[in-house]
């Protein structure tokens, strides 16, 4: 097997005058932001780190003009079954894949979801293209949330995008349809979230929880305020964060079976209607915009995904309420 077949596309830097005399580790951290974890892994790889074609230790010093190259061994997700699936690919190159995930699809295989996941379809897609890549989602969406998901195709790209997420440099914006309109049409929800001790799969707002911040802006109010379309931006990324925070301010997502109203009667008592629930068979939430800096080109990129058909149908129904006499909202 040739070097090209065994490794991903190499990363190469030429040592600058001010970097002359620095260690290999220092230059890689300074120029590429390579993490210590990835450096440790590269040290164990036969051609992981070379200077002018010669394998080196990270403690060795380099000189101006030296060509420093990093190579990562190709990997595959052997534990994920390749499965043909129609994918809405928004962007793809050798390093990064952006997919518009439909609702009803789990991102990664879990207990009870070994097939039919986004990962199964992506692995099949890569095999068809002759690519040897491990499935590395940078972030995830709930099964019934639609929208944009970023998937790294190399360990370095995954590390870089994960750090962008931690620094708040990844712009994730959502569209949601909720019962009632927020009392303040725009604002920030700063309410800590943690597991419900009685139902561990459910998240709740609790003073002892993890810091959780969601910014929202109401785009449209329907009827006399029985529902609204809201634009949201996450500052943190807790599990179910948007769904929990909107419930917290009295505006649960339409169709949300876990955090929404307990019954149609309950929804109707708050000004809702069975037609709203029938219009969308899942929480009305869509990851519409994803902005990030490409780890290789360093280009700032912004991706958008149009509303899926079910949410467009829900919006069409809600728009009709503006011309109808609707229920009075009850506290």
Predicted pLDDT at 111: 80
| DSSP conformation letters of 121-149 | HHHHHHHHTT-----EESS---TT-EEEE
Band of residue 18 on the pLDDT scale cut at 50, 70, 90:
very high
Predicted pLDDT at 93: 96
* Domain spans, the chain: 3-70, 89-166, 171-321
| Residue 292 pLDDT exceeds 60 | yes
Predicted pLDDT at 321: 82
Q: Which CATH architecture has domain 171-321?
A: 2-Layer Sandwich (3.30)
| Residue 330 pLDDT exceeds 60 | no
Predicted pLDDT at 2: 46
Predicted pLDDT at 331: 41
Q: What is the pLDDT of residues 63-117, one digit of tens each?
A: 999 999 999 998 888 889 999 999 999 999 999 999 999 999 999 988 877 899 9
Q: What is the pLDDT of residues 300-328, one digit of tens each?
A: 999 999 999 999 999 999 998 875 544 44
Predicted pLDDT at 325: 42
| DSSP conformation letters of 214-261 | EEEEEEEEETTTTEEEEEEEESS--TTHHHHHHHHTT-PBTT-TTTS-
Predicted pLDDT at 5: 59
User: Looking at 78, 79, 142, 316, which residue is catalytic?
Assistant: 142
Predicted pLDDT at 4: 55
Q: Report which of residues 230 and 261 the model is more confident about.
A: 230
- Average pLDDT for residues 275-288, to the nearest whole number? 87
Sort 187 into a burial class: Cβ within 10 Å, 0-12 / 13-18 / 19+.
Answer: middle
Q: What tokens were used for 106?
A: 């789990």
Predicted pLDDT at 329: 40
Predicted pLDDT at 280: 86
Q: Report which of residues 280 and 246 the model is more confident about.
A: 246
| Residue 183 pLDDT exceeds 80 | yes
Predicted pLDDT at 163: 95
Homologous superfamily (CATH) for 89-166? Pseudouridine synthase (3.30.2350.10)
Distance of CA 30 to the CA centre of its chain: 27
Predicted pLDDT at 21: 95
Band of residue 262 on the pLDDT scale cut at 50, 70, 90:
low
Predicted pLDDT at 1: 42
CA 83 to each of CA 28, 86, 90, 115, 327: distance values in angstroms, whole numbers, following the listed order:
38, 10, 20, 8, 47
Residue-averaged pLDDT of the chain: 90
Cβ atoms within 10 Å of 144's Cβ, excluding its own: 22
Homologous superfamily (CATH) for 3-70? RNA-binding S4 domain (3.10.290.10)
Residue 16 makes CB contacts below 8 A (sequence gap 6+) with 64
Predicted pLDDT at 121: 97
- Is 144 labeled as catalytic in the residue annotation? no
> Would the CATH topology of 89-166 be identical to that of 171-321?
yes
């Amino acid at each position: 097997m040739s070097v090209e077949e065994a490794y991903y596309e190499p990363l190469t830097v030429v040592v600058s005058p001010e970097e002359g005399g620095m260690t290999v580790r220092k230059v890689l951290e300074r120029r590429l932001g390579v993490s210590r974890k990835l450096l440790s892994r590269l040290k164990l790889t036969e051609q992981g780190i070379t200077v002018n074609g010669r394998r080196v230790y990270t403690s060795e010093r380099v000189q101006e003009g030296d060509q420093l190259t990093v190579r990562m061994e190709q990997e595959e997700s052997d534990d994920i079954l390749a499965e043909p699936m129609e994918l809405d690919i928004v962007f793809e190159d050798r390093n990064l894949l952006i997919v518009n995930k439909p609702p009803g699809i789990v991102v990664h295989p879990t207990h009870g979801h070994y097939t039919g996941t986004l990962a199964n379809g992506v692995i099949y897609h890569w095999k068809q293209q002759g690519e040897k890549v491990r499935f590395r989602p940078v972030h995830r969406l709930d099964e019934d949330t639609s929208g944009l998901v970023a998937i790294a195709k190399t360990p370095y790209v995954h590390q870089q995008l994960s750090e962008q997420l931690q620094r708040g440099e990844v712009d994730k914006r959502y569209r949601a349809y909720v019962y009632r309109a927020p009392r303040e049409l725009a604002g920030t929800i700063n309410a800590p979230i943690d597991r419900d001790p009685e139902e561990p799969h459910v998240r709740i707002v609790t003073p002892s929880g993890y810091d959780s911040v969601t910014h929202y802006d109401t785009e449209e109010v329907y009827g006399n305020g029985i529902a609204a379309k809201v634009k949201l931006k996450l500052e943190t990324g807790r599990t179910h964060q948007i769904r929990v925070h909107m419930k917290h301010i009295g505006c649960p997502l339409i169709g949300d079976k876990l955090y929404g109203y307990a019954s149609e009667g309950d929804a109707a008592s708050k000004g809702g209607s069975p037609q709203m629930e029938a219009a969308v068979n899942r929480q009305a939430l869509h990851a519409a915009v994803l902005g990030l800096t490409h780890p290789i080109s360093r280009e700032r990129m912004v991706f958008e995904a149009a509303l899926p058909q079910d949410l467009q149908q829900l919006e069409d129904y809600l728009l009709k309420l503006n011309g109808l006499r609707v229920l009075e909202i009850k506290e």
